[in-house]
């Protein structure tokens, strides 16, 4: 069945928007509330469901845990200990049962697996006293590790299971769809059985005329296609479309028609106009379809929907009280991603910089910069607070623009909005001391951003647009105002020497030691398709490896570089050192000692 055969023009259509498993369960992902609001503004009946959350809640329930341990054939006592505590833990993490804090925080109440045991051992070794956490936060921390122990047990049953991802490795840079299809058709794990049951419930409840699935990350693709397969069994004539971040980055050169056994169309980039055309008819926009066994990319000239013209996100249908936070590391910045109920909001479409050589700057959500006005953003903020009851916001832009932040902070202060917010920035000189103080006054509590290699030579080579002297000043100013900071770090960048890598670690150590950097994470450089580095590899001293032509996903490109050190070993050393810095440990150790061999010139 081809998409063109399954679709007929309907003036008003009922569309079911689905978030597939697995994503972090503390707050709704941004896509379906945005698309739901857009479709409703056009007069359509849009409904939404978060099947990622629902699958986790089914897993972490008395019935789910009992089924889990029965498959594992563990002792009756162990099973009963977890079954007796799981519902109380989830209610506590949903902020519905605060009185349970003292019980959960008392050792002996929760059954202990490897994560909890290791936490107690670290407490005894370093005498941290849980870094001074009060009884409530201590209970959240221990309850989160208890769930991590259960997630490890789930992974024994199904190796694809991960707390915020499912079958991620199967979907990453997948040149051929065959292996993923084989897994889809052969797997029948307990979690997929539960997922099918959840799909059945939602289809019976909503009886949609169209289904839209968002795939923000590789770890959501398998779940999305599993959902699509089940819907095809139930409602074979209902068209299903796929979009989202993973699709936008990895499926831009799609040729394999097999994926259309599961979905009828795949849309690229901003989903508003493509989805509108699929629903209402007319020429398709940025949409892959299969026709007579061949994949075609259908698009037409069209004016993009202005970001400023969008309605505020709509959360109707998402039971916000069911989301639960996770607090797995004793670090206040890393906690932001997984704990707290944040309203996710985009201030501007695209990236205000869009020049980094390691990035595919041709992608729409990077190259097309389209900000909303500060008044529109504050209107969205007020509408979202009224809907959700939450005053916390995560601005999920590629990079928050300094010029827009000046106007936004002024508008927040003018309206007297009492909010807390955080987001990603560039540690550039345009973040003046005055602006940073204004951000603090307007409710900013944390910023994240890329320091990458932390060395000016390689920062200039990658066209990052920052220098470390300025970045250090910006970090200091944020810390002085009480705003938490997190840095994304990179190793293995082309031409980066071992000496420069450890110069970077020394810079990171000093920033932690000064108290101006509160959290950081190292990523190994990966060569992105269509980036400037992949287009001009000779400029960066690398050679592209021969690779099998891809007819499905393309993202990371294999390459040969010239490194005078072991990248795997170095990566482990960097991670080990920075993890210690996160906990205030090891700041007095010379950086070369984190390796088993001395730093060489």
Strand partners, 17: 48, 212
Give the least confident one: 231-235, 317-321, 329-333, 515-519: 329-333
Residue 597: the pLDDT is: 54
Q: How many residues does the chain have?
A: 601
Over the Cα atoms of the chain, what is R_g?
Answer: 24
Q: How many helices (H) and strands (E) does the chain have?
A: 24, 19
Domains 3-57+186-307 and 327-594 share a fold: no
In sequence order, what DSSP letters do the residues of 162-211 get, joined into one string? ETTEESHHHHTT-S-SHHHHHHHHH---HHHHHHHHHHHHHHHHH--SEE
List the domain boundaries for the chain: 3-57+186-307, 61-163, 327-594
Query: Is the per-residue pLDDT at 6 higher than 80?
Result: no
* Rounded Cα–Cα distance for residues 579 and 329 (Å): 10
Higher pLDDT, 546 or 242: 242
Identify the CA nearest to 338 among candidates 31, 32, 34, 56.
Answer: 56
Query: Is the per-residue pLDDT at 273 higher than 70?
Result: yes
Query: Is the per-residue pLDDT at 330 higher than 90?
Result: no
Give the least confident one: 92-106, 423-437, 546-560: 546-560
* Rounded Cα–Cα distance for residues 303 and 107 (Å): 60
Identify the CA nearest to 71 among candidates 199, 246, 189.
Answer: 189
Helix (H) or strand (E) holding 488: strand 484-491
Query: Is the per-residue pLDDT at 289 higher than 70?
Result: yes
Confidence band (pLDDT; 50, 70, 90) for 323?
A: very high
Percentage of the chain modeled with pLDDT above 90? 77
In sequence order, what DSSP letters do the residues of 66-119 get, joined into one string? HHHHHHHT--HHHHHHHHHHHHHHHHHHTTS-GGGHHHHTSTTSS---HHHHHH
Query: Is the per-residue pLDDT at 535 higher than 50?
Result: yes
pLDDT tens, residue by residue, 16-57: 999 999 999 999 999 999 999 999 999 999 999 999 999 999
Cα distances (angstroms) measured from residue 157 to each of 153, 305, 414, 517? 7, 45, 55, 39
Give the least confident one: 106-120, 158-172, 459-473: 158-172
Confidence band (pLDDT; 50, 70, 90) for 12?
A: confident
Helix-helix angle 402-415:374-388, to 10 degrees: 60
CATH architecture of 327-594: Alpha-Beta Horseshoe (3.80)
Domain range 3-57+186-307, its CATH number among 1.10.3720.10, 3.40.50.2300, 3.50.40.10, 3.40.50.12160: 3.40.50.2300
Give the least confident one: 309-313, 450-454, 556-560: 556-560
pLDDT tens, residue by residue, 423-472: 999 999 999 999 999 999 999 999 999 999 999 999 999 999 999 999 99
Confidence band (pLDDT; 50, 70, 90) for 4?
A: very low
Mean model confidence pLDDT for the chain:
91
Query: Is the per-residue pLDDT at 1 higher than 70?
Result: no
């Amino acid at each position: 069945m081809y998409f063109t055969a399954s679709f007929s023009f309907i003036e008003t259509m009922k569309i079911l928007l689905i978030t597939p498993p697995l994503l972090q369960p503390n707050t709704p992902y941004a896509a379906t509330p945005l698309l739901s609001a857009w479709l409703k503004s056009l007069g359509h009946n849009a409904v939404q469901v978060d099947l990622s959350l629902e699958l986790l809640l089914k897993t972490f329930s008395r019935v789910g845990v009992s089924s889990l341990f029965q498959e594992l054939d563990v002792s009756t006592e162990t099973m009963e200990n977890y079954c007796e505590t799981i519902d109380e833990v989830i209610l506590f993490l949903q902020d519905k049962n605060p009185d349970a804090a003292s019980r959960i925080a008392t050792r002996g109440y929760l059954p202990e697996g490897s994560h909890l045991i290791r936490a107690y051992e670290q407490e005894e070794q370093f005498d941290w006293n849980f870094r001074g956490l009060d009884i409530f936060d201590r209970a959240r921390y221990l309850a989160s590790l208890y769930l991590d122990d259960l997630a490890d047990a789930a992974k024994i049953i199904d190796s694809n299971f991960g707390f915020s991802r499912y079958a991620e490795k199967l979907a990453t840079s997948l040149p051929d769809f065959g292996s993923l299809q084989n897994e889809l058709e052969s797997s029948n794990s307990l979690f997929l059985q539960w997922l099918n049951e959840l799909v059945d419930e939602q289809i019976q409840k909503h009886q949609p005329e169209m289904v839209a699935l968002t795939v923000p990350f590789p770890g959501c693709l398998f779940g999305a296609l599993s959902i699509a397969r089940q819907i095809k069994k139930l409602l074979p004539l209902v068209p299903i479309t796929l979009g989202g971040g993973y699709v936008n980055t990895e499926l831009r050169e799609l040729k394999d028609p097999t994926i259309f056994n599961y979905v009828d169309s795949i849309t690229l980039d901003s989903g508003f106009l493509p989805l509108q055309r699929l629903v209402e008819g007319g020429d398709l926009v940025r949409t892959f379809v299969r026709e007579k066994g061949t994949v075609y990319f259908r698009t037409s000239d069209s004016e993009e929907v202005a970001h400023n013209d969008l309605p505020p996100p709509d959360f109707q249908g998402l039971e916000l009280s069911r989301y639960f936070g996770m607090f797995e590391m004793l670090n206040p910045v890393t906690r932001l991603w997984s704990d707290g109920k944040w309203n996710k909001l985009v201030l501007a479409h695209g990236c205000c910089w869009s020049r980094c050589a390691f990035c595919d700057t041709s992608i729409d959500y990077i190259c097309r910069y389209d900000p909303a006005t500060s008044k529109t953003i504050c209107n969205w903020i007020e509408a979202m607070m009224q809907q959700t009851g939450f005053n916390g916001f995560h601005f999920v832009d590629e990079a928050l623009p300094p010029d827009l932040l000046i106007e936004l902070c002024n508008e927040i202060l003018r309206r007297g909005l009492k909010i807390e917010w955080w987001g990603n920035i560039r540690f550039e000189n345009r973040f003046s001391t005055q602006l940073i103080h204004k951000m603090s006054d307007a409710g900013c509590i944390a910023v994240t951003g890329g320091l990458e290699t932390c060395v000016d030579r390689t920062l200039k080579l990658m066209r990052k647009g920052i220098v470390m002297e300025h970045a250090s000043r910006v970090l200091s100013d944020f810390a002085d105002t009480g705003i938490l900071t997190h840095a994304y770090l990179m190793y293995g960048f082309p031409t980066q020497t071992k000496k420069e890598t450890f110069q970077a670690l020394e810079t990171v150590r000093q920033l932690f030691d000064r108290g101006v950097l509160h959290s950081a994470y190292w990523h190994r450089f990966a060569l992105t398709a269509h980036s400037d580095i992949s287009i001009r590899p000779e400029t960066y001293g690398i050679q592209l490896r021969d690779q099998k032509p891809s007819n499905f996903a393309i993202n990371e490109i294999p390459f040969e570089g010239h490194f005078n050190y072991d990248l795997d070993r170095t990566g482990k050393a960097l991670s080990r050192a920075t993890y210690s810095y996160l906990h205030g440990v090891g700041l007095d150790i010379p950086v070369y000692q984190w390796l088993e061999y001395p730093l060489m010139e």
